[in-house]
Amino acid sequence: MDIVVCVKRVPLTEEVDLVIDEQKKGIKKDQLAFVLNDWDNYAIEEAILIKERHGGTVTAVTVGNEDDEEVLRRCLAMGADRAVRVEAGDMSRFDSYGITKILCRVVKEQPYDLIFTGVLANDDYHGMVGMMMAEELGINHANMVIGIEVEDGKLQTTSELEGGLGEVSIVQLPALLAIQTGINEPRYVSILGIRKAAKKELKVIDLSELGMTDEELAPRALIDEVYLPPETEGAQILSGDPAAIATEVVEILTKKGVME
């Protein structure tokens, strides 16, 4: 079972005061720490678990600069066999569509039965790349996957739905699965493990080698402006008799145009 896992290095933004950049197209990231995207961490772990049970290989792929090799080294330390990085220069010029195109071009050159992506990325929360890759490659897919069983050349997948529901599907290979958090417990990676992973293959491909045109990679969605939400007044606390509070709530909602 040969599995390709698409991963991404994302900034840690929890408990940090975010600052909008000068172009108002994103946030300043130069002072932020970066980690492997949370959903991708579960995806690489699931790929390695399947390899351990059924044999095969795991290849981690990312699009980014040299600093992004950090997350590939982590994937190798977890148990991936190979890693591929596409050097694409200025990443701000690509939207999810462009990244999808690049990943598909690289994945086509890799042996695979399965492709894993995370459901989302912590930095943009678009949740597009996995499903667009499946469409571009013309293969079967399942989203929000929280369970995988391999049986006779096909998969039984469990996907998370709204309201606590789950959906079980039979998916023929080759296929792409977008992995949801909670599907497993990602293993701990030691510093020693990362040092040992330095001996494993990490291939770098320049974007120019893929033979893709600017038109192919042109963004389909442009960010007009990024801004912090405006500060608002604090909550209004109502106290007293419940009947009087109910009347006051109705009056407030009516004045604000919520009720007539």
Q: What is the pLDDT of residues 73-82, one digit of tens each?
A: 999 999 999 9
Query: Using one digit for the tens of pLDDT, what is the confidence trace for 149-207?
Result: 998 889 999 999 998 899 999 999 999 999 999 999 999 988 888 888 888 889 999 99
Question: Residue 232: is its pLDDT beyond 80?
Answer: no
How many Å apart are CA 114 and CA 112, to the nearest integer? 5
Q: How far apart are the first and last CA of the chain?
A: 62
Question: What CA–CA distances, in Å, run from 248 to 103, 104, 241, 243, 258?
Answer: 56, 58, 11, 9, 14
Q: Is the pLDDT of residue 17 over 90?
A: no
| Cβ-contact 158, 168 below 8 angstroms | yes
Tell me what pLDDT residue 62 has.
Answer: 98
The model's pTM: 0.86
Q: Summarize pLDDT for 132-147 with one digit per residue, the tens.
A: 999 999 999 999 999 9
Domain boundaries, the chain: 2-217
Contact at 8 Å (CB) between 188 and 171?
no
Domain made up of 2-217: CATH architecture: 3-Layer(aba) Sandwich (3.40)
Mean pLDDT across the chain, nearest whole number?
Answer: 93
Instruction: Summarize pLDDT for 31-67 with one digit per residue, the tens.
Output: 899 999 999 999 999 999 999 999 999 999 999 999 9
Residue for token pair 């739905």: 161
Rounded to whole angstroms, the Cα distance separating 58 from 112 reads 9
CA distances in angstroms from 159 to 2, 118, 141, 164, 182, listed in the order given: 22, 13, 11, 11, 12
